[in-house]
Structure 1
Amino acid sequence: MDRYTEVRSYVLVATRGSFAAAALVEGVTPVIMGRRLSALEDRLGVKLIHRSTRGLTLTDSGESYLENAKAVLQSFEDLDASISENENSVRGHLVISAPAGFGRHHVAPHAPEFQARFPDLQLSFNLTDSVVDLVQEGYDMSIRIGEVLDPNYVAIKLYANKRVVCGAPSYFERHGRPLQLEDLAGHNCLSFNLQGGQHRGWTFQRDGKPVAIKVGGNLYCNDGELLFDWAKRGLGLSWRSWWEIQSAVQNGTLITVLDDFALPSYDIQAVYPQQHYLPAKVRFFIAFLKEVYNRPGYWLQG
């Protein structure tokens, strides 16, 4: 077994927290991942990870080795990236994180078309609304919606987006339309629960400054698609991304309100860690998604 495979496997096990999770990334069994770790520990003559029924715990040596191992693997990635400048050389494994709903409809479905262009490249998607640590959890990149504040990451805008309040015509016929942000207090607002975020309220811009408005209603959940469906059924108002509701607004299923207060620059972005060389697989996937999202009428198909 080569040393690179041993080191990479160790980093995956250490960052993912289990042999099973690391094995999914590598496309092997947990038993094989365990053998790789044992081979590495035998070669080094030190214990890197304590195994118990409660899980895995890094030893002091394991903690120290992990940081150096990450640096070594990054050097290999940079070396490969420095010569991977054409489509014919793009190969390997691209690991991507994306929001659950957006990724289900607008990221993962495009994998076959991308792989047709780059048949030697494997794609792996983790669709979750949790914000993942790309470096610690071993992702090459993520798709995020909204502002990215971490200075250790690079964010590339894929498509302009904003967040707006919307509701069905039937809802407005019964309850009228809010004209000011404070009017939301008198409306049934369909919101994420604590598990889904938005606990600080809905965010708008007034007089050039962001303002958070607390809202309330009789339906909450942690699934954006369900909130979207409830809004279309006339059950209340929802605070949705423009990418999601464009077609519904065009066909009259939904109407937007309070547009003058809409939060701008809530863009769809590709995010990756700061690095000396950007791997070609990441660069080409970003360019591909830009192409897809800017195709005429793309967002009106849903």
Structure 2
Amino acid sequence: MINSIDLQFFMVIARASSLAAAARLLNVTPPAVTQRLAALEARLGVNLIDRRGRHLTLTDEGELLLERSERILAELGDITDRINDRRGLIAGHLRIAAPIGFGREYIAPAVRTFKHAHPDISVSLDLSDNPIGQQPENRDVIIHIGELRNQPFQMQHIAPNRRILCAAPAYIARFGPPATITDLAHHQCLILRENDEDVSLWRFHAAAKPKTKETVRVNGDMTSNDGNVIRDWALAGMGIALRSEWDVAQHIRKGRLVEILPDWQVDDAPIVALLGPRHFRAARIRHFINHLRTCLTPVPWNAMP
């Protein structure tokens, strides 16, 4: 016989790169994982993991157990959520993923106040430069900046967010401001690498006439996958950056950065929450989304001193 704890244990192993990695996730020693896995295999009478290679490989029986484990645990979680909903109880584990900079600045404080209001909730918050790429099936809520097309998630709008072309006064004093969009090709531009987008092709539309569009291939020998790094380089006068309003609004108000070509805009990148097909039914997730909207209304980056 196996139980839900066995299924949870096996799912951790199946998704880990090694037994040592699984042990770290489970906060136990590698020998303890090996012994527990061997006991599970003995009870089932089959091998679940092929240990001959450098990486863990599931046997056919292991693949079957993983598939059924995911389904059974999802059903158990759904039953618990429905019962808690009927009781009016906001409880359970909330798994959130968010971008590093925005997550640290705004999501972490919202999680803190949400936990304070609902002590029966437990929370795991994972911050990365690519939250969608970090096992999205294991997350209840994924915070993303920008619209997403052709993706399997429910998308809940959380807060508006413009993207702003800006540079430090020191850079403008040294090189002068670009007079037109095409002038950007002759400036040092700070390029953020993210997802699989063509990150050096910047697309603009006229603020007064949205159907009037311009595209420019920018040049720059300074790139990073971290938006905070791009912002800090811009603040240091290293070049022109295209950054989210949440990240640079206070610096523009204080004169550390200057908006460039304000008559031209790029598409907005709203703050959205992505949820799996069943997740929005859980009370804890609905309440967290509403709490997050409250925390970001009005948007705090426009109210900062």
Q: TM-score, normalised by structure 2?
A: 0.85
The 5 Å alignment of 1:134-149 reads: 138-149=138-149
163 and 292 in structure 1: CA distance in 2 versus 1, 3 angstrom threshold? same
Distance 1:69 1:150, change over 3 A: farther
User: Contact 2:245/2:301 (CA < 8 Å) preserved in 1?
Assistant: no
- Cα–Cα, structure 1 residues 221 and 246, in superposed 2: closer, same or farther, change >3 Å? same
- Structure-1 residue corresponding to 2:84: 84
Q: Give, in angstroms, the shift of residue 22 of structure 1.
A: 4.8
Partner of 1:176: 176
* 1:97–1:66 Cα change, 3 Å: same
SS at match of 1:252: coil
- Percent of aligned pairs with the same amino acid: 33
User: Could you tell me which residue of structure 2 aligns to residue 161 of structure 1?
Assistant: 161
Contact between 1:248 and 1:254, CA under 8 Å: does it hold in 2?
yes
Q: Distance in 2 between matches of 1:41 and 1:262?
A: 59
Q: Does residue 1:238 correspond to 2:241, yes or no?
A: yes
Query: Aligned in 2, Cα 1:161/1:77: closer, same or farther, shift over 3 Å?
Result: same
**Deviating more after overlay: 85-94 vs 220-229:** 85-94
- For 1:226, the equivalent position in structure 2 comes to 229
Q: Deviations over 1:62-83 (max 9, x none)?
A: 2233222212122122222223
Contact 2:203 2:215 in 1 (8 A): yes
Match for 1:64: what amino acid? L
Cα 1:41–1:139, aligned 2, differ >3 Å: closer, same or farther?
A: farther
5+ long unaligned stretches in structure 1: none
Helix, strand or coil at the partner of 1:284: helix
Partners of 2:84 and 2:91 within 8 A in 1: no
2:94 matched residue in structure 1: 94
Q: 1:230-274 CA distances to partner (integer Å, 9 max, x unpaired)? A: 211222111100111111112222111233432233111111111
Question: 1:115-164 CA distances to partner (integer Å, 9 max, x unpaired)?
Answer: 11121222112211124357665222211111222442111111111222
Matched to 1:201, the amino acid is S
How far apart in 2 are the matches of 1:288 and 1:220? 35
- Change over 3 Å in CA distance of 1:53–1:212 after alignment to 2: farther
Paired residue type of 2:260 = V
Conserved 8 A contact 1:200-1:212: no
Aligned partner (choices 241, 262, 277) of residue 274 of structure 1: 277
How many angstroms apart in 2 are the aligned matches of 1:267 and 1:149? 13
Are the structure 2 counterparts of residues 129 and 117 from structure 1 closer, same or farther at C-alpha, using a change threshold of 3 Å? same
> Whose Rg is larger?
2
Residue 60 of structure 1: CA displacement?
1.8
Structure 1 window deviating more from structure 2 (219-228 vs 234-243): it is: 219-228
Residue identity matched to 1:56: L
In the TM superposition, residue 98 of structure 1 has moved relative to its aligned partner by 0.9
Contact 2:131–2:143, Cα closer than 8 Å, also in 1: no
Structure 2 unaligned blocks of 5 or more? none
Measured in 1, the distance between the counterparts of 2:45 and 2:214 equals: 57
Alignment of structure 1 residues 1-302 onto 2, 5 Å: 3-19=3-19, 21-22=21-22, 33-51=33-51, 54-85=54-85, 89-133=89-133, 138-192=138-192, 199-206=198-205, 208=211, 213-275=216-278, 278-295=281-298, 297=300, 299-301=302-304
Code of the aligned partner of 2:79: L
Tell me how large the CA RMSD over aligned residues is: 3.0
Give the alignment's TM-score, normalised by structure 1: 0.86
Change (3 A) 1:87 1:150: farther
Q: Is the 8 A contact 1:135 1:273 kept in 2?
A: no
Q: 1:104: how far off?
A: 1.6
- Amino acid in the other structure paired with 1:214: R
The worse-fitting range, judged by mean Cα deviation, of 41-50 and 236-245 is 41-50
Give 1:292 deviation, angstroms.
0.8
